[in-house]
Structure 1
């Protein structure tokens, strides 16, 4: 497996590949949204406008499947942004990867900062195999959603929004829910909410990370021999196609669960039934 380019800054360990890929993802989403809304026309809509209209209708149907559309309309922009962001993030690791190799700890630096993950691996390799040349491969380009910290941050954002709305707009029913059907169910209901946070983030991470691991394995096969290179081409094409499908499904699942959680915290017990 490739190492992550981690540096230590102000006592924090920062993965530069994650920072880079989040910037790339945000830029792509912004450009797509800007191009789709640049020249809106009723009489002669362009292809991007038609796609945008389809996407808006699709997301509206997602929202209406979880709550009354009148209540859900304020969350249209949130849902659109989230599904676009996650889909683009899921796709970034598919077309190619950028990997650099280090064999000298002194050269494992960037912007004057030591890449601690590399120097640690090189030190461990020298300790295990003294006298032999050690090397570490660092992956700079990958899907940001293949990192647990990113998916858990997205899940935490949804958690804060949904519970914050519940406490502010549905205060009585929100707090009452924790002691239903009996007060001693309070710890169980709290654990249930925390488990939703955990599974919401881990589900997305596990699916995207597993896909990138398999891509890395196929690429390793391609480097092994000529036969491996020949067989790796159709394998990679098939898996990339399947990964696009998985990435789209995972974006849909994440956002539909987000709307379900918001709906559950906004609506009273009577409204849900």
Structure 2
């Protein structure tokens, strides 16, 4: 059975695999951006520069489709960061996995700290001979990560609404009638939940399917063939799913920001 390597610091539990993959994702995005902008050229742009220019133009069009560009241009960096970070993060769990096994709870330590997920697993299932720790996965296959990203959007959009569009922001909670206030409040939290859980659900389901396909190898030669073919097809499709989910999260971000910083009249216009 696979579990995450979790340690406890100051009463707070930390998933080391998630932290590792967040760092890896950030480094990959930084390297791509750095290489793409290192030797900029107008006459003979490189492939990475072309890719980055296409990405910037794509995000610009995405923002322009949700709000006036004069207001939306300030969110270009945010959109680029989200779409690249989420796309790379979505794909990291596809190529391979890193799994280590622990046979004795007394050896379940790292950096001098107890891996509580392992000791708890042995305590719940005394007959288990080995607990497998999954170190490599898509960070977006963790609900805490996707909900964290969604909360950033939630906090930013509402902060902008309260500071840049104060009157319309508070007024919209009582539209079309004052007794719609509870429904409008629930709607805001529903947006937070659905934005984060949509991303998590799609990526987590993909990784679960990959683990199921890998287990087909236990069925012999036929299982190996079925597993290989299934992985080829699914990983190709997962690239498409990863791109779509990065796009959906980013455009929802811009839609939510637009709804907060633009008045009702501007939306109608």
Q: What range describes the TM-score normalised by the shorter chain of this pair?
A: over 0.9
Q: Do the aligned residues in 2 keep the contact of 1:125 with 1:134 (CA within 8 Å)?
A: no
Aligned partners of 2:123, 2:129: CA distance in 1, in Å?
A: 8
Aligned partners of 2:185, 2:125: CA distance in 1, in Å?
A: 45
Q: Which residue does the alignment assign to 1:267?
A: 262
Q: What is the aligned counterpart of 1:170 among 141, 165, 172?
A: 165
Is 2:54 aligned against 1:59? no
Aligned partners of 2:32, 2:18: CA distance in 1, in Å?
A: 21
Q: Which residue does the alignment assign to 1:73?
A: 73
Instruction: Give the unaligned 5+ runs of structure 2.
Output: none
- Per-residue CA shift, 1:1-28, capped at 9, x if unaligned? 5101011111001000000000000000
Q: What is the aligned counterpart of 2:136 among 102, 120, 141?
A: 141
Give the deviation of 1:224 after TM superposition.
3.9
- Per-residue CA shift, 1:130-178, capped at 9, x if unaligned? xxx5211110000000000000000000001111111000000000000
User: Aligned Cα RMSD in Å?
Assistant: 0.9
Q: What is the aligned counterpart of 1:191 among 186, 194, 198?
A: 186
Structure 1 segments, 4+ long, off by >4 Å, are none
Q: Tell me the secondary structure at the aligned position of residue 3 of structure 2.
A: coil
Is 2:108 aligned against 1:108? yes
Q: How many residues of Structure 1 are paired with residues of Structure 2 in the alignment?
A: 268
Q: Which residue does the alignment assign to 1:204?
A: 199
Instruction: Give the unaligned 5+ runs of structure 1.
Output: none
Q: Which residue does the alignment assign to 2:89?
A: 89
Give the deviation of 1:223 after TM superposition.
3.4
Q: Tell me the secondary structure at the aligned position of residue 14 of structure 1.
A: strand
> What TM-score, normalized by structure 2, do the two folds share?
0.98
